[in-house]
């Protein structure tokens, strides 16, 4: 391939540049003394909350959120210990679930929000479906083990990644060291670059990552299976992700027979990186199906 062809292949597609040029409203809400930051798109009203995975942050959704915001409010938060939110002495699923609900309210969502959670964010959304099920319109889970540790937690506990945060002398040095966990080489370069660039911050002595390593020793890891969803659920499995067929069978039982379950072809675990448009289509389809069901059961 010629240099010109390589450059053309790496150019950001129009849908991506359009999404990133969509202004995002930013805000913060205090949850038990710690600031929870969020970004929002779309009109104030009914809406959804996008929940990132471990060691990630709200800006993983920058190219996704605007595509879901035409007729609804979309809020993407930084869970505490991640992104621009504050840190805690310890972290747990129940507290993170509460942060999601509070960010939905503060971010301009009216009525019952629908949660869309990836990886660890899917586990938290699943727990929220139990603890706050009466307050939610539904939960969409993306390639999350639900019952097991996330790949980020496994890597941290095996000391393969996410140890004490390193400080790099320059922004370019930090970006060159950015890696997805689990490893994933597929994906549009423009998305990978955007996620890498928004994952670092200036610190004393250089640049480092925007997460607290203590998030991987969270409380309540073994209690996930004690929860049962008390709202509608949907699940997207990535064809090349982390959820085996055997684990998927267990998750189907856990979610119940009425849950919507689908697979995103050719997707790695980080679906928003390598298959963003099929992911948007899938989420839109679930939201449309649930909206139609709501209309059919509404009193005349």
Residue 275: which of 142, 115, 124, 179 has the closest Cα?
142
DSSP letter at 250 equals H
pLDDT above 90 covers a percentage of the chain that reads: 80
Mean pLDDT of 47-71: 97
Please tell me which residue, 239 or 298, carries the higher pLDDT value.
239
- The confidence band for 8, taking pLDDT boundaries of 50, 70 and 90, is very low
pLDDT given for residue 186 in this prediction: 87
- When pLDDT is cut at 50, 70 and 90, the band that residue 152 belongs to is low
Confidence band (pLDDT; 50, 70, 90) for 3?
very low
pTM: 0.92
HEC string of 116-157 equals: EEECHHHHHHHHHHHHCHHHCCEEEEECCCCCCCCHHHHHHH
- Half-sphere exposure of residue 3: CA atoms within 13 angstroms, side-chain side: 0
User: Could you give the 3-state DSSP secondary structure of residue 14?
Assistant: helix
Q: How far apart are CA 176 and CA 168, in angstroms?
A: 10
pLDDT of amino acid 10: 59
What gap in Å lies between CA 276 and CA 66, rounded to an integer? 12
Q: Which pLDDT tens digit goes with each residue over 103-133?
A: 999 999 999 999 999 999 999 999 999 999 9
Q: Angle at CA 144, nearest 5°, toward 281 and 13?
A: 35
Q: In the beta sheet, which residues pair with residue 202?
A: 207
Domain 25-297: state its class. alpha beta
Tens of pLDDT, residue by residue over 234-285, are: 999 999 999 999 999 999 999 999 999 999 999 999 999 999 999 999 999 9
> Smallest Cα–Cα separation from 291: which of 129, 68, 77?
68
Where does the pLDDT of residue 230 fall: very low under 50, low under 70, confident under 90, or very high at 90 and above?
A: very high
In the chain, domain spans: 25-297
């Amino acid at each position: 391939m010629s240099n010109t062809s390589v450059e053309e292949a790496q150019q950001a597609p129009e849908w991506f540049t359009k999404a990133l040029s969509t202004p995002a409203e930013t805000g913060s809400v205090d949850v038990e003394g710690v600031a929870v930051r969020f970004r929002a798109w779309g009109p104030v009203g009914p809406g959804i909350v996008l929940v990132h995975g471990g060691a990630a942050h709200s800006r993983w959704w920058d190219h996704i959120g605007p595509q879901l915001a035409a007729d609804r409010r979309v809020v993407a938060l930084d869970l505490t210990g991640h992104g621009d939110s504050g840190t805690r002495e310890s972290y747990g699923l129940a507290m993170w679930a509460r942060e999601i609900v509070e960010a939905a309210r503060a971010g301009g969502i009216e009525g019952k929000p629908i949660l869309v959670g990836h990886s660890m964010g899917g586990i938290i959304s699943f727990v929220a479906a139990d603890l706050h099920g009466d307050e939610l319109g539904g939960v969409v889970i993306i390639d999350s083990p639900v019952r097991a540790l996330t790949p980020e937690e496994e890597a941290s506990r095996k000391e393969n990644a996410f140890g004490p945060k390193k400080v790099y002398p320059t922004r370019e040095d930090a970006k060159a060291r950015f890696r997805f966990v689990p490893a994933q080489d597929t994906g549009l370069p423009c998305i990978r670059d955007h996620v890498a660039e928004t994952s670092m911050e200036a610190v004393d002595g250089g640049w480092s990552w925007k997460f607290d390593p203590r998030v991987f020793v969270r409380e309540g890891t073994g209690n996930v299976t004690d929860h049962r969803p008390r709202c509608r659920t949907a699940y997207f499995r990535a064809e090349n992700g982390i959820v085996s067929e055997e684990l998927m069978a267990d998750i189907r039982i856990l979610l119940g027979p009425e849950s919507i379950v689908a697979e995103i072809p050719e997707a790695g675990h980080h679906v928003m990186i390598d298959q963003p448009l099929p992911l948007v289509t899938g989420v839109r389809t679930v939201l449309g199906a649930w909206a139609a069901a709501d209309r059919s059961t509404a009193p005349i």
